[in-house]
Amino acid sequence: MKRILTIDIMRGLTLFLMLFVNDLYMRNVPWWLGHTEANFDGMGLADWVFPGFLFMVGMAVPFAVQSRLKKGDTIQQIVQHILVRTISLLVIGVLMLNTSRLNPELSGINKNLWAILMYISIFLIWNLYSDVPRKVVLSLRGLGFAGLLALILIFRSGTAEDPGWLTTGWWGILGLIGWGYFVTALVYLVARENLLKTGLFWLFFLALNIFSQLGMLSFLNFLRPVFGVLISGNTPLLVVSGLFFSLILRKTGSEKWKKFTVISFILGISALILGFILRNWFIISKIKATPSWGLICTGISILLFVLLFLVLDVLGKTKWSNVFKPAGQNSLTTYLAPDVIYFTVWMTGFPLLFYKHLESSLLVILGSLVWAFAMVGFAALLARIGIRLKL
């Protein structure tokens, strides 16, 4: 089937919104723009943005796997690619998660400098090098690996009396994406284009999420330090939801857009209704990763996707969306590159982020919007000069 522009645009839009809400200084803006507290029964914009991106990760899986199959990759090669990509996301996620835990005195390095060097190493290792001699590529990647290894070895957290090292914790944003991608890619290899089989996997992760929330899976606690994301069921539920919806799109597409629109509307509304029904037992909470929250986010993602699909792929109104396209096509670069600027600003004290502390809520929001647009443009600029992360 022909390429669906909406997939790139919605992925780029969710990334843009992630940059926006992560930059907001919440003391000066309305609560509904940010992340709600763990015990609060409800959600703001920031509580949908990440699950919206996870949904898009699932939607992209069938297209990516089929592309590799058409190029002649064997199932074994595809599984190896899935494992390498998953491990890469987990490693980067854990390193990002631990940045705030570093003790400068025990590690012998400034926290911000450690983070900047960590990101530089990541870019050296996972950059997509084009038209660069193989020896140069191997040298750059070798330098990146050496730098990352050195930073890992000197890392210390805690206190002098009770020093610590890297922890997996909740794996960080990229770690969650890694686990969700891993499960969903394997589900697709097993079920392929079969909606019934994929739907059964979706029900399995919904049940896992419910049972986990009810405390019925405590016998698996010994596995949680590593496989907790999978046992909780919520992240796989969100990504497999995207996979299931993607299969419907692949079976209808722009040729049968009316049928796709009706099915999507029914699925989106059904997910919202089921989410609010489950609210009787589970509050809507991103922090607690409740099934009610997961289903409501899925419903929102489906309805937003079909709206964008009608505008972009059916009506052909695409000019307005060009600003989000680079983010959708270079998602990892778009997400990580701004952190290098953040840590540089914090280390040097340069007042680039002055707008965060303005008294006007409108100016604070406007500042973060400008920041998000600027970072999308920054990632596009990096791609033009050959800096583009590819796992």
Cα angle: 256, vertex 258, 261; to 5 degrees: 110
Nearest CA to 31 out of 365, 383, 319 is that of 365
Cα dihedral angle (278, 279, 285, 290), rounded to 10 degrees?
Answer: -20
366: number of Cβ within 10 Å? 13
Helix (H) / strand (E) containing 163: strand 163-164
> Which residue in this structure is represented by tokens 């190493």?
121
Tokens of 193: 């284009």
Q: Give the pLDDT score at 4.
A: 87
Q: Which pTM was predicted?
A: 0.94
pLDDT for 258 equals 92
Q: Which two tokens stand for residue 189?
A: 């290899």
Spatial distance between the Cα atoms of 85 and 167, rounded to a whole number of angstroms: 20
Q: Report whether 27 contacts 276 (CB < 8 A).
A: no
**Sign of the Cα pseudo-torsion (341, 345, 347, 348, in order):** positive
Per-domain residue ranges of the chain: 5-384
- Say what the pLDDT of residue 1 is: 63
The pLDDT, as a whole number, for residue 201 is 98
Half-sphere exposure of 227 (CA within 13 A, CB side): 11
Q: Which of 95, 123, 109 is nearest to 154 (CA)?
A: 109
Helices (H), the chain: 5-23, 45-70, 75-98, 104-107, 111-126, 134-154, 172-191, 195-213, 224-232, 234-252, 257-278, 291-309, 325-329, 331-348, 361-384
Predicted pLDDT of residue 135: 95
Per-residue pLDDT of the chain (391 residues; tens, 9 = 90+): 667 899 999 999 999 999 999 998 778 788 888 888 889 999 999 999 999 999 999 999 999 999 999 999 999 999 999 999 999 999 999 999 999 999 999 999 999 999 999 999 999 999 999 889 999 999 999 999 999 999 999 999 999 999 999 999 999 999 999 999 999 999 999 999 999 999 999 999 999 999 999 999 999 999 999 999 999 999 999 999 999 999 999 998 767 899 999 999 999 999 999 999 999 999 999 999 999 999 999 999 999 999 999 999 999 999 999 999 989 989 999 999 999 999 999 999 999 999 988 889 999 999 999 999 999 999 999 999 999 999 8
